[in-house]
Every structure is written in C-alpha cells, then in structure tokens.
Structure 1
Amino acid sequence: MAKSAKMIKKQPATPSSFSDVVRLAIPNKGRIAAPIMDLVEKSGLHLAENGERRLIARTLDPHVEILFARPVDIPEYVATGAADLGITGHDMVVEREADVEELLDLQFGKAKLVLAVHEDSEITSVKQLAGLKVATEFPVITRNYFKKHKVNVEVVIVGGACEATPHLGIADAIIDLSSSGTTLKTNRLRVIDEVLVTSTHLIGNRASLVAKKGKIDEIHLALESVIRARGQCYLMMNVKRASLDTVKRVLPGLSGPTVMDVASSEDLVAVHAVVNEERVYTLINSLRRAGAKDILVMAIQRMIR
C-alpha cells in the first residue's frame, strides 16, 4: 500500500547527503565579485571550464566546485546546506539572520552601514526619527537597530538608489552602505550614526564543518595564505659577512631575515626577508648603503605560517 502524502515528511538537506564534494558559493556580480574571483584563482582553485562561467562550475580540484549566486542569497545557501562554504559580506549574513559560522575575514569590501539624513534636515539623533520614514535595502538590520534604540519608525524597503529617497520625499532618513563617504557627500547626506561595520567573510555550514572538515580546512588555509601575502614581497640579496649586522639593522621582516652562506671567494652571505611592499622603494637604497648587492624583489602569491 502506498504511503499517504501526509505521512511523508521531507527532511532538510544536509551537506553530507550528496557527496564528498565541497561547494563554495561566491557572488555572480556586484562590487566584491571580481576581487573574490581573483582570490579564488590565486588560492589555486582554478575553474576547469576554460573560463566559462556557469551556475555551478568545476575546479581543477575534483572535490571542490563553485556555485555562482547573488551575494544576498549566499548566507541562506550556506545555512541550508545548498553550499558548504560561501564568500559574502558580513552585512548579508546579519541581514539574512543566517545560522552559519564566519570563518575568515578576507579584509576587503570594507564598508559601514550608516544612518543618514539630508544635510539640511534638523534631525541630529536617532530619537528624533520616531514616527518618520527610513529607506533601506536592509530591512532586518534596520528594524533591529531601531528596536534596540526603542524608536518606532516606518521602514521603506528599496531595491537601489537608497540615497535619493530623502530628496524625493520618500523617506526622512536612510540606512545604507558607505565605503568612502563620497556618495553620501555627493547626495548631500549627513551621517547621524554608524549601524554596522562590514567586510567580506568566508562562511561555513555548521554540519559541513564537521562532515567535510579535511577539505574545508584545506580551502580555508589556501584562502588565508593569499590574504596573508597581500602587501608583502620577498627580498633576496648578497651581503659581505662584515656588513651583515648593518644590513640586519636596516632590514625589517616578519620573523627576522634568513641568512645563508654563499659559495664565493668574497665571503658573502645570502639574506632573504619578507617585507611590506610599501617600504621597498626607500628600503632598497638603505640596503645598498649598508652593503647589500644583487638585490632581487619578488612578489608573494601565498604565505603560510
């Protein structure tokens, strides 16, 4: 006898229900899409489809695939197990109230979610917005913010161009993302309060972090190593042993320079160090004056501690 439809209860999907493949969700568009794709490529997770972008793309690692999705949907995909990992803004995670683990701050896409009014407005505090309209693309964060401040407002949900709403009479204030403040100034808006600080994060499904720990740890380390290498470069040079102490005093480094003997009749040593690339321009001349020669400067793609 066939079971009644009422007797069949659909269970939520869990990551381990499908395979040992780790699915990483990343944005298909938006301001952080290109930097994230660059990060993924530099980490070694190269797409296997010769650059052709599909909804789900294989990588050169047969145990990792990429899901391209809207940034706002990624927290939900990860929370429900449709993806094991995701890369999206912290603001998206908070807005969707997603039950995920934030694993790594990728340190780009930094911005602030701010409360702002027209520069000619007499409003200077949150309390003065009681009974007024606030436009936003982040209704959950906005309602929670005003609930915290015990202020009742009417939330107007907009899909874009939030900064124009005070000029159009649609809202008395906005809660919107600001990275540099330029857009706010251009639209003659004045910040009243900072609601949330955000940046791009690697997030994980809680069940996947247990079921697929080995591969997820591998992906986490690969991404983290690219982040650590940013802004760093590798210096190599030859130094006469008599000048080594002088060079070491000039040369900064993460853990001090590495010094190795050189097979040379000049009694040379090879000195290697990782330094901040912003210092290289002035550092080179200082090193030469200290006695270094044959100086090489190399980019670092990944750095693992």
Structure 2
Amino acid sequence: MNPNAKDRSILRLAIPNKGRIADPVIELVESGGLKLENSRTRRLISKTSDPDIEVLFARPADIPEYVANGAADIGITGRDMVLERGSVVDEILDLKSGHARLVLAVPEDSGITSSKQLGGMKVATEFPGICGKYFDEIGVDVVLVPVGGACEAAPYLGIADAIVDLTSSGTTLATNNLRIVDEILDSTTILIGNPGSRKKFHEKIDEFCLAIDSVIHARGQRYLMMNVERSYLDDVRAVLPGLSGPTVMDVVSDKSMVAVHAVVSEDHLYSLVSTLKRAGAKDILVVPIERMIR
C-alpha cells in the first residue's frame, strides 16, 4: 500500500470514467444508496453522500493497479482488466453484470478451426497479457500485435491472421465476417479490494458490499400483494412461486380474507397474475423491489 493510502481516513472507491460498464456501475452504486457528486462530469476525485467514502473516476484498465498499489482501496472493473494487468488484489464481489467473453476469432473464410493451427501467425489483441499466457499454455508460438481498438478490422487490414477480443453477443464479430475458434475467458464486472485496505476499512467495505449486493439480488424480482378468501388459500398457494413461500396475514376488517405477500421473478409475472386471479386472488398489487437484503 502506498504512503498516501496509509494516512487516508476516507475509503476511496475507484469506478470507470468511460467504457461499456461505466454507466451501469454508477447506476448500481447510486441504487445502493451511495449518491455521487459530479457523476456527469466525472471529475477525478468526487465526494459522495457518505462523508467517509470518496470516488476516484479512472480508466477501467487502470483500476486494478490503482487498487493494488493503494491509490484506491476498492474498485469496480472487469475481471478481464484485472487478469490482463496481473494486479495483486482481492476479488470481493461478482456484480453479475457486464458479461463478456474474450474469444479467439478468425476470418469466416479462413481454414483455421483450432488455435493450434496459428503457430507462427499474427494475432491482434488489446489483451497481450492474457493472450500471451493462453498461447503459452497450449504450446503455440504466435506473434502478438497489440492494438488499442477496432480489433476486428485487423485481419482485413492485413496486420493479423486472427484476433483475441471481447464480445458480448458475437454480433460485431459476425458483422465483420469473423468466426469464433475458442473462448479464452468469461468476464463479468467485479468489486476488487486492496488487501491492506480491507483490514483498515473492513466495516465500511462490508457496509458498501451489503448495499450493492442488495441491489443485485433485487434485480428481476417483484413483490406481489393480494387478498384471498380463506377457502381459496390452498389454490393460490399451489400456483404461487416465491423465494421462500408466501407470507399469509389476517385481514383485520374481514375475518374471511387473508393478505398474501410473495416475492416472485419478473419472468413469471405475465401469466402468473391471471392464474392467481382464476385461483381466487383479488386486489393484486405488483410492486418493484429496489433492494433485497438476505
């Protein structure tokens, strides 16, 4: 940990200032209740609604090293960035978002069907560290061509025979007539921590993790509330999925009725509401869930 980190009394969180995961990360952090000042301008260092936490806006590729050397105590970036830098950090929490695959791809009309056929050939990539390790492990010597972007154009510019690049859906690769030969890495957005800072700020980091984790677990969930006549309760229970079964409470104003509450997946809602109605439920309310603490 660097000297500044040792003296600092405020937890510093590093988050991306640009790139595909920057906006989702800011939304996640603020949904957890930590409001960021200057989130639009993304000034280098910004205050938050918690006086004991400040934010460092940085390039996603730089965040692993900032956390490793103590310039930041915790940070949010892609697992691919951490592995590429080889930074010594703790992975604290998988944020279950920003999913992407690091793949080896070749031109569609290429006769290459295996990475072992690339011996002596050129491979363009933004991830020379991961890429070099991959080819070392399979015992294939290639010439790595580091590029800073638009990797998919490299084969058609004549500077590479294959590429190693990130893809979410594969659409960009297909559009550029590239075919996936192998998947090297499955990456998501993760929360990482400096080992020394985790000891110093453990309570504040645990508090932050709880807030973020509660938002993650609320994704895709809805809270259902309904009234049910007691005679129909078993029928409603039979069709009502939930995390741990429905909660049933007496309705004080009508002894023949009960109130039934349950957390259900949004994927089930379309047909579930009409099924519950047919089973005897009424006054059905569907409520979004912002945070769910286990």
TM over 0.5: yes
2:14 to 17, 25, 40: 25
Q: Contact 2:17–2:42 at 8 Å: present in 1 too?
A: no
Does 1:151 find its partner at 2:140? yes
1:279 to 225, 247, 268: 268
- What's 2:204 paired with? 215
How does 1:89-168 map onto structure 2 within 5 Å? Answer: 89-168=78-157
Per-residue deviation, 1:14: 6.4
- The CA deviation string for residues 152-194 of structure 1, in whole angstroms up to 9 with x for no partner, is 1110000000000001110011000011011111111111111
Q: Contact 1:15–1:207 at 8 Å: present in 2 too?
A: no
| TM-score under structure 2 length normalisation | 0.97
1:16 to 6, 16, 34: 6
Secondary structure, aligned partner of 1:207? helix
- What's 1:185 paired with? 174
CA distance in 1, matches of 2:209, 2:25: 14
Unaligned runs of 5+ in 2: none
Unaligned runs of 5+ in 1: 1-10
> Judging changes above 3 Å, is the alpha-carbon distance between structure 1 residues 48 and 114 closer, same or farther for their aligned structure 2 residues?
closer
Q: Contact 1:105–1:201 at 8 Å: present in 2 too?
A: yes
Task: Give, as a single letter, the amino acid of the residue that structure 1 aligns with 2:6.
Answer: S
- What's 1:244 paired with? 233
- The CA deviation string for residues 85-138 of structure 1, in whole angstroms up to 9 with x for no partner, is 111000000000011111111111111101111111122212211111100000
2:280 to 266, 291, 294: 291
Q: Contact 2:2–2:71 at 8 Å: present in 1 too?
A: no
Q: Contact 2:2–2:69 at 8 Å: present in 1 too?
A: yes
Q: Superposition RMSD on alpha carbons, in Å?
A: 1.3
Task: Give, as a single letter, the amino acid of the residue that structure 2 aligns with 1:90.
Answer: R
Task: Give, as a single letter, the amino acid of the residue that structure 1 aligns with 2:5.
Answer: P
CA distance in 2, matches of 1:205, 1:157: 28
Q: Which has the larger radius of gyration?
A: 1
CA distance in 1, matches of 2:139, 2:204: 45
Alignment identity in percent?
63
Secondary structure, aligned partner of 2:267? helix
Q: Contact 1:106–1:227 at 8 Å: present in 2 too?
A: yes
CA distance in 1, matches of 2:50, 2:176: 47
Q: Contact 1:240–1:266 at 8 Å: present in 2 too?
A: no
Dislocated runs of 4+, deviation >2 Å: 11-17, 48-53
> Judging changes above 3 Å, is the alpha-carbon distance between structure 1 residues 144 and 255 closer, same or farther for their aligned structure 2 residues?
same
2:216 to 217, 227, 230: 227
Q: Contact 2:67–2:74 at 8 Å: present in 1 too?
A: yes
> Judging changes above 3 Å, is the alpha-carbon distance between structure 1 residues 201 and 218 closer, same or farther for their aligned structure 2 residues?
same
| TM-score under structure 1 length normalisation | 0.94
> Judging changes above 3 Å, is the alpha-carbon distance between structure 1 residues 158 and 48 closer, same or farther for their aligned structure 2 residues?
closer
- What's 2:193 paired with? 204
- What's 1:173 paired with? 162
Per-residue deviation, 1:39: 0.3
CA distance in 2, matches of 1:150, 1:50: 46
- The CA deviation string for residues 224-283 of structure 1, in whole angstroms up to 9 with x for no partner, is 000000000100111111111111111100000111111123521111100001211211
Task: Give, as a single letter, the amino acid of the residue that structure 2 aligns with 1:16.
Answer: K
- What's 1:54 paired with? 43
CA distance in 1, matches of 2:38, 2:17: 16
